[in-house]
A and B are shown apart, each in its own frame.
Chain A
Amino acid sequence: EADIYQTPRYLVIGTGKKITLECSQTMGHDKMYWYQQDPGMELHLIHYSYGVNSTEKGDLSSESTVSRIRTEHFPLTLESARPSHTSQYLCASSDPGLAESSYNEQFFGPGTRLTVL
Chain B
Amino acid sequence: QQQVKQSPQSLIVQKGGISIINCAYENTAFDYFPWYQQFPGKGPALLIAIRPDVSEKKEGRFTISFNKSAKQFSLHIMDSQPGDSATYFCAAKTGFQKLVFGTGTRLLVSP
Chain A partners chain B: no
